Amino acid sequence: MSIASAAPAANNRTVAVYGAYGHTGRFIVAELLKRGWTPILSGRDPVQLHAFASAYPSLDVRPASIDDPVSLDRALAGAVAVINGAGPFLDTAAPLIEAALRARIHYLDLAAEQASVLATYENYSDDAREAGVVLLPAMAFYGGFADLLATAAMGDWTSADEIQIAVALDCWLPTKGTRLTGERNTVPRVVVSNGVPTPLANPPPTRHWDFSEPFGTQEVVTLTLSEMITLSRHLKVPEINAYMNLHPLKDLRDTTTPEPTAADSSGRSAQTFLLDVVVRKGNQLRRASATGRDIYAVSAPLIVEAAARIIEHPAKPRGAFAPGEIFDARDFLQTLSPENFTVKITSHEAA
């Protein structure tokens, strides 16, 4: 790949947001503005993009198609990074990454699809190092959040025997993007077993998980997303698995379930979540848990904090990374807590 464009100025605070008018994209734009960054509003649908942009008359609006590299180059011109909030990422990640590499700017996305994140690592790591930029896929509730919690729980351990992740939601009101991604993502999911990606059993195993209140003990089913790829990239743990409680999956599978609706002035829905990560080494257990509201809204502070840390610390290594691989996980989580979620880290012996 030819990489020839000049890098943006070091004091640049302009970040392109692709999929700016989408449900999560709107939270990302608001978070950037709140922190003093200048978003470039971009996306595939000019009508929806301009309708959304009418609330931000001072911001640049740049429609771009993933099938048109020239339009993508135009959309990213002058930015120091691009945040891709437009799924399915199996379709959008590669074109946006290649445009970011041509522009020599950082790339971050919200991908939950394992195949998309794996392709980013396998296909673009060398090019990112050559371009002097960071590629950070899966920097969202699904993927990056669990990666940071697991890394924080590991603490001073350089290896462990097992990581178990469990998500509890009181409901799941899926966005249009979530439904489209589910339809598009037919790639078989994997767990990590004996240190290697292993196809998820069919049907997926179930078990019970003891969540803290208000969820308590619930039946969960194995549901692995992009955290399998990010965690196995940088942590020496041979067994990694993930689960979700059953009720929100019924919501997701019900085609009549409505999209999220705002429950406060920030636009967050009333949905509550608990993300539980348990790391085991021998008979020692370390647990990191995060509680909060709205899995879509919380992805915005996660990805904007990541972008800010990458942009503002040019000494960080360049290439494609997992969140816990490039950031101090505990510091990252503490910075966003308790305004965006509450984190608790404990340790004890297994019963």
Domain extent listing, the chain: 14-139+300-328, 141-296+330-349
Whether the bond between 203 and the residue before it is cis, its omega within 30 degrees of 0, is yes
Mapped to the 3 state alphabet, what secondary structure does 319-341 carry?
A: EECCHHHHCCHHHHHHHHCCCCC
**Superfamily name with CATH number, domain 14-139+300-328:** NAD(P)-binding Rossmann-like Domain (3.40.50.720)
pLDDT tens-place string over residues 135-176: 999 999 999 999 999 999 999 999 999 999 999 999 999 999
Label residue 348 by pLDDT band (50, 70, 90): confident
Residue 54 has a CB neighbour count (10 Å cut-off) of 8
Cα 226 to Cα 139: distance, rounded to the nearest angstrom: 10
Is there a contact between 331 and 265 (Cβ–Cβ < 8 Å)?
Answer: no
pLDDT exceeds 60 at position 247: yes
Label residue 2 by pLDDT band (50, 70, 90): very low
Give the mean pLDDT of 287-306. 98
Which structure tokens are listed for 104?
């020599």
pLDDT tens-place string over residues 202-245: 999 999 999 999 999 999 999 999 999 999 999 999 999 999 99
Q: How far apart are the first and last CA of the chain?
A: 54
Token pair 């767990």 in the structure block, residue = 191
pLDDT tens-place string over residues 29-52: 999 999 999 999 999 999 999 999
Mean pLDDT of the chain: 95
Label residue 9 by pLDDT band (50, 70, 90): low
Q: Which CATH number fits domain 141-296+330-349: 3.50.50.60, 3.30.9.10, 3.30.360.10, 2.40.128.20?
A: 3.30.360.10
Cα 254 to Cα 50: distance, rounded to the nearest angstrom: 31
Residue 349: the pLDDT is 85
Cβ-proximal residues to 221 (8 Å cutoff; 6+ apart), any chain: 204, 205, 206, 243, 244, 246, 249
Residue 4: the pLDDT is 42
Whether the bond between 88 and the residue before it is cis, its omega within 30 degrees of 0, is yes
